Structure 1
């Protein structure tokens, strides 16, 4: 008789314990979040090293969404990813993107035979080029000026981390907003 009372009491306690646990869990969680998607900005993928364009419209970051390390560009106004042909090369490991004013130019580090080099992507030409191929020292953290002419980066040329400025020259097309006057 005593075992049937204990058994019934145990079942009742288990029923109420599970019920209260589920009720607590449901109230703590609130609404169920939508499933993550590869087309949304926040997802289950590893996204890091964000950079904003000068006008605040584009966001570039490093992601593993397509199985490798590459640069993704997201339009914050339209809430869609921007497809940029020629930006991510197969087998290349990209890091530290930086965008010019409208995002026409993207400067980033890419591995070349195990050493980081600075690459520049031009959206108008849809191609990347290496800017410092003959540079023999370690570099890191490249940043491009809003107009796209200057690139600053850290270098170990003197045995310590110093800052260098790379001038792309006066004959490049500057990244300026439509209607903006050119400064000499």
Structure 2
């Protein structure tokens, strides 16, 4: 007759260091460590397409907070959101943000009557304007120069993706740090 011996799970050779390491990893990566709320950078919603200003102070990104896709601007130094009245419109998709050096100008892709357009938000004036109202075809990937004068983007108006450079003109108020001179 065979002898039956009960082997408990704890009696099996186990690498306890692996178990404790895994347990500590799970505890340290808990969702409770992430600050979640109205004024925090991270939330429970999808946040994507980050863009950093040239001076590294401001962060623009696309978020699905409040069940609505919107562009948000965050001050990394003050650790708070910047109010951007007139930037986000209801039922309008905004994406691909780009910031000038001090974050005064925010260039992004949005839709106007169902077609994509490149828009520019001026934080000083708190206004948005469409930069490409007459472009036919698709646009993507806008980017603004550090001084805010030039905007580049991809355009498919000739049947293939081309790079377009838009000069906002020599009279545009440039985004430069205080005290720096402008060379024309």
- TM (norm. structure 2) is 0.84
Deviates more, 1:23-32 or 1:90-99: 23-32
Partners of 1:104 and 1:143 lie apart in 2 by 14
Instruction: Confirm or deny: 8 A CA contact 2:84 2:126 kept in the other structure.
Output: yes
Matched-pair contact (CA < 8 Å) for 2:135–2:157: no
The one-character-per-residue Cα deviations of 1:127-173 (angstroms, maximum 9, x if unpaired) are 10111112112110000001101000001122111101001011111
Residue 34 of structure 1, CA deviation: 2.6
Aligned to 1:57: 57
User: Hey, what does 1:72 align to over in structure 2?
Assistant: 72
Distance in 2 (alpha carbons) for counterparts of 1:67 and 1:77: 27
Q: What corresponds to 2:134 in structure 1?
A: 134
TM-score (norm 1): 0.84
Rounded Cα–Cα distance in structure 2 between residues aligned with 1:83 and 1:120: 16
- The aligned residue for residue 89 of structure 2 is 89
CA contact (8 A) 1:36 1:44 kept: no
How many residue pairs get matched? Answer: 172
Q: Which runs of 5+ in 1 are unaligned?
A: 1-5
Residue 36 (structure 1) shift: 4.5
Match of 1:158 in 2: 158
Task: Output the CA distance in 1 between the equivalents of 2:91 and 2:148.
Answer: 27
Partner in structure 2 of residue 107 of structure 1:
107
- Residues 97 and 109 of structure 1 are in contact (CA less than 8 Å); yes or no, is this contact kept in structure 2? yes
Aligned counterpart, 2:33:
34
Gaps of 5+ in 2: none
Change (3 A) 1:27 1:118: closer
What residue number does 2:169 align with?
169
Using the TM superposition, give the Cα deviation of residue 27 of structure 1 relative to its aligned residue in structure 2, in angstroms: 3.3
Residue 15 of structure 1 and its aligned partner are, at CA, apart by 9.9
Larger radius of gyration: 1
Secondary structure class of the residue paired with 1:121: strand
Q: Deviations over 1:66-113 (max 9, x none)?
A: 211110111111111111111111211101000001010001010112
Aligned-residue CA RMSD in angstroms?
2.3
